[in-house]
Chains A and B, each alone.
Chain A
Amino acid sequence: MKWYIIKRLLMLIPVLLGVSILSFSLIHLAPGDPAITIAGEHASIQTINAIREKYGLDKPITTQYWIWLKQVLKGDLGRSIVSNESVTKEIADRFPNTFELTMFSMFFAIIIGCIAGIISASRQYSILDYSFMGLALFGVSMPVFWLGIMLMMIFGVFLKWLPISGRISMMISFQQITGFYLLDSLLTGNFEAFISSLRHLILPSIALATIPMATIARITRSSMLEVLRQDFIRTERAKGLSERMVIYKHAVRNAMIPVVTVIGLNFGLLLSGAILTETVFSWPGIGRYIVNAVNMRDYPAVQGCILFFAFMFVIVNLITDIVYVYIDPRIHYG
């Protein structure tokens, strides 16, 4: 187990190096002088020269990469052309919002997806099974951005139940501590802010949760069906155990192994989905930031976001792999 984790960590090094090379190349593949790309078209000569100096842009490309990598490892992702703020700070400011959104969605997706899958499997070919699986089929084909718009239209515009955009109502002022709105409002005892930020969270997280929820429901069902066919389940039933006990105590535990992998794989989809959902709901997260940055040709910001997203994704995959080995003792990776 320990060796597996160490090996898995070592395998990260080439991948992360590759990711960094790809992000680094972005500036150099973009048309025009890299110094102007980094500083922005309207930058003064002094700024451009300062950039050229800082990143050693007159030196060979390998040296440039090395200088850049050292900056990145120090946590310096450069300055945004648009806001002239440090990209690291801009990402750090937005990360809690993206984190709250993705975690809330994943929570929804896992709970509802697993329950729907378990019910479908234990009542195979029932009306409930057919309707869940029919919904799941639509779910996996859903354009997230369109679903977001439809939810916004139905619950925000027509029924007026929930707010349609932003992170919190503009009328509420409250003090930020960690950047996580839900946590901060609880910590400061600001109940009004908590409710408002929770209400803003609902529609985007439902939209974002749909695809993972559908995939989780489908995989839970098929995995449960497989487990329910096995001998030990027949033994449990022969022992006279109630069906409820058989399913929830014995079958579910064994069926969860492939589900964990799918949950891990879905984080990638979730990050892609976050880019779209945040754009639809004007959610102040990293996804919306990167779209704006691409549209404004803010290359340092794009580069920083890419590095950050890829890094998160790699870490999530690592955690999934480790959890996978942990919950399934049969698996041994050499």
Chain B
Amino acid sequence: MDRKNNQLKETRTQELIRRLRYNKSATFGLIIVLILILCAIFANYLAPNNPSPSPPELFNALKPGFWSQKGIEGMPLGTDALGRCVLSRLLFGARVSLSAGFVAVGIAMILGITFGTVAGYYGGWIDAVIMRIVDIMFAFPALLLAIVIVTVLGQGLSKAMIAIGIVYTPQMARIIRSSVLYIKEMEYIEVQKAIGSSDRRIIFHHILPNSIAPVIVYGTLMLASAILDCAALGFLGLGAQPPTPEWGAMLSKSYSYIVSGAWWAATFPGLAILFSVLGLNLLGDGLRDILDPRLKI
């Protein structure tokens, strides 16, 4: 029995990969995401310089990169206002942004799956209470709610992650709830109830494994917006604090220098954010086309 199950799982994963390969934009997204992950893991080896040398090398401040004669060797994308290598900071920034995104989405998933499952499975007053709270949280634009939470928790990268995680919880809870509501009515759940399985068993062995598809799809898309929102908080000075090499914070510290012609320090972090978000969006859209059965109809 177990072997048969394993085989079935394998073919499903294989099918997923095969269908992803046919989808050109999803493949492109996957490649971007893989590059991003590799940059984050191997930042130590890939980065040509220390991302935050101390004391700062101010004599190197705002030097252009490889395109100009005035650039410094070994700093291909130029330096920022404190003389730090932009490329190295971008690579280490991938680590910060990606882990911030994963932590935020992880928090949203844990909370969202818990509340969504409870609301969908038990229904009644508990469902009503949870869904009203969800409605209230939806009454705030996402970034505003994140700002509110950061105001209470205080500034900093870890608090920004928690804030974004909480902000995305209602979305996740709604998705899980609707999926649980649908699965709950299936015959095999009725069978489980008839043979006297406990609620716990039904939820963990039958309902949750079957609602994994929307979690993967929306988790990927959420990761894209989490990275974007985390960068936005960093940009507003409410997220990562200096000298953390976070893309949004890098932008906010260098954009005032574009007036003096130093465009590189503000341009590259933004491109990094743009392509990461684009890659995850493409991948998420592709996964949705494949995994979301509602679109197959």
**Chain A residues in the interface with B (C-beta under 8 A):** 14-16, 18-19, 22, 26, 29-30, 137-138, 140-147, 149-150, 152-153, 157, 164, 268-269, 271-272, 275-276, 279-280, 290-291, 294-295, 299, 302, 306, 309-310, 313-314
Contacts and interface: CB of A to CB of B under 8 A. Distances in A.
Given A137-B282, A143-B228, A157-B259, A309 B144 contact: yes
A28 to B, nearest CB: 10
B143 A146 contact: no
B287 interface: no
Contact of A143 (B147, B148, B273, B281): B273
Contacts of A275: 143-144, 147, 236
Given A26-B148, A137-B282, A279-B236, A272 B255 contact: no
Contacts of B224: 141
B277 A143 contact: yes
A291 B144 CA distance: 10
Interface of B: 25, 132-133, 135-136, 139-144, 147-148, 150-152, 224, 228, 231-232, 235-238, 248, 251-252, 255, 258-259, 261, 263, 266-267, 269-270, 273-274, 277-278, 281-282
Contacts of B273: 143, 146
Contacts of A313: 139-141
Contacts of B252: 145
B139 A138 contact: no
Given A146-B273, A271-B144, A290-B147, A153 B278 contact: no
Contacts, number: 128
Contacts of B151: 26, 30, 294, 299, 302
B255 A280 contact: yes
Contacts of A138: 274, 278
A306 B263 CA distance: 34
B282 A143 contact: no
Given A26-B151, A153-B263, 9 more contacts: A142-B277, A144-B232, A145-B248, A146-B273, A149-B266, A157-B261, A275-B143, A294-B151, A302-B151
Contacts of A280: 255
A22 B232 contact: no
A310 B144 CA distance: 9
Contacts of B133: 18
A295 B277 CA distance: 27
Most buried by A among B25, B132, B236: B236
Contact of B144 (A137, A141, A272): A272
